[in-house]
Amino acid sequence: MKTKKEKRRKEKGPRKARIGRTGLRAAALAAAMILAVGCGSDDTPEGPQTRTVSNSGGADFGTVQECISASANGDTCLVYSGTYRQRIRFQGKAITVRSSAGPEKTIIDGREQGTVVTFDGNEDDDSILEGFTITNGRAVSGEDTVEHGGGIQLISAGPTIRDCILLENHAEGDGGGIYSFSTGSSPDIENVIFQGNTAAGQGGALCVVYGKVDLVNCLFSENEAADGGAISGRYGADVVLSNCTLQGNSASAQAGALYLLNAKSEWTNSICFFHSSPPGGTMVLDLDPQQVGSTSLSLSHVDLQGGTGEVGLTSNCNAQPSLCSLQSENILDADPRFVPLTLVEPEETPWTAFYLSEPDTLRSDQQQLGRSPCVDAGDRTAEEAGLEEDTTRTDGIQDEGTVDLGYHYAVPSS
């Protein structure tokens, strides 16, 4: 039986530019639809179906939810570019909901009326959300809403969320961007940007309660919460990060980057810099002595501002040190030397400001800054990390050899 990672690699195939790759998939689906129509049969098609969505006409459906409701396991909803002002629920279906033009051109806007996307029907990794900006979610307690998970809410679900932007969502409780709850929740989150999400409680970008979350090549920027400005995990949660960048997140109470309570987290080949929070650590390990469990953090090949001195232990952890642990190896504490894609400040796309400085690009600002210490600083090759067709360089040259730390961008389509 294939592992989830092997299934993902097989399904994705060669890693093209993320918006371009979504477009290539969409073109292939459209071609298949034309061939099917050209067969001249009046019979109802058998097998997986692809249905189109457009809010400007010329498609099978005008809303994403209508397409989901009409779909069966194995089907695909191909969503054309536009802004869809609605909230959607996957209804437990093993379907793919994919944009045709990528997240910057295909937006699902929750209009501050609740969680934007809900998975609460035991979905697994064959339920796929790909290529959207999810924005203006607002999770509050109400007749048909709850206070956790402004952008996406996962209850006993393990879908695949890929190539999306979680932008400026809010939760009155926890998980401004994504809230994952239950031991049955185990989502795969790949190539996702969390930008400007907020929570009044924990986890401005992401809150995990029980269950496991795998984060591969994700960017967390300018998210805010009381505890865990970027990420919070508690009560049996397992939060795994690989090649992620966390920068500029903030917490009003504690832990600008990461807060763990009776939970564990493993980080590899990642960057964690420029956060703000009260004294006590950018990352905070906490323990609830009334609950069974321990708290642990493992860091390997991570550029962490302040080094492991920025990992704080609460009084509960200090009182029971055998139940709170930190393991670390190959920790850097050096300015990652971020540079924007262009010399013009990216006001509308602030997430494009975290490339790594490389003098070989011949750009004057990078020649002055020098090479980022995060270049070639990982624990495996770029190919082994699945990032050999992505880049951390503003000139778009793909990563090769030892993988660079942190988030990798799609190489622009030529």
Query: Per residue of the chain (414 residues), what is the pLDDT tens digit?
Result: 444 444 444 444 434 435 444 544 554 454 444 334 443 344 556 789 999 999 999 999 999 999 999 999 999 999 999 999 999 999 999 999 999 999 999 999 999 999 999 999 999 999 999 999 999 999 998 777 789 999 999 999 999 999 999 999 999 999 999 999 998 889 999 999 999 999 999 999 999 999 999 999 999 999 999 999 999 999 999 999 999 999 999 999 999 999 999 999 999 999 999 999 999 999 999 999 999 999 999 999 999 999 999 999 999 999 999 999 999 999 999 999 999 999 987 788 999 999 999 999 999 999 999 999 999 999 999 999 999 999 999 999 999 999 999 999 999 876
| Residue 123 structure tokens | 């979905």
Q: What's at 138, amino acid-wise?
A: R
For residue 58, give Cα distances in angstroms to 51, 53, 65: 12, 8, 17
- Residues comprising the chain, all counted: 414
282 closest CA partner among 272, 292, 291, 290 = 272
The answer to whether residue 153 is domain-embedded is: yes
Run of H or E residues at 64: helix 64-70
> Would residue 352 count as lying in a domain?
no
Taking the C-alpha atoms of residue 163 and residue 131, their distance in angstroms, rounded to an integer, is: 5
Q: Is residue 221 part of a domain?
A: yes
Total of domains in the chain: 1
Q: What is the largest CA-CA distance in the chain?
A: 75
Question: Is residue 12 a part of any domain in this protein?
Answer: no
Distances (CA, A) of 222 to 181, 187, 207, 248, 265: 23, 23, 16, 5, 21
Q: Quick check: is 186 in a domain?
A: yes
Decide: 139 and 384 in contact? Cβ < 8 Å: no
**C-alpha distances in Å from residue 329, one per residue of 70, 187, 244, 381:** 50, 27, 17, 18
Question: In Å, what is the CA distance from 18 to each residue of 130, 159, 340, 387?
Answer: 10, 19, 18, 12
Determine, yes or no, domain membership for 25. Answer: no
Burial class (CB in 10 A: 0-12, 13-18, 19+), 205: buried
Name which of 12, 83, 84, 104 is nearest 351 in CA terms. Answer: 104
Residues 6+ apart with CB under 8 A from 323: 287, 293, 294, 295, 317
Domain ranges, residue 294 = 79-93+107-332
Write out the two tokens for 37.
Answer: 């129509």
408 in any annotated domain: no
pTM: 0.92
Task: Report yes or no on 134 lying in a domain.
Answer: yes
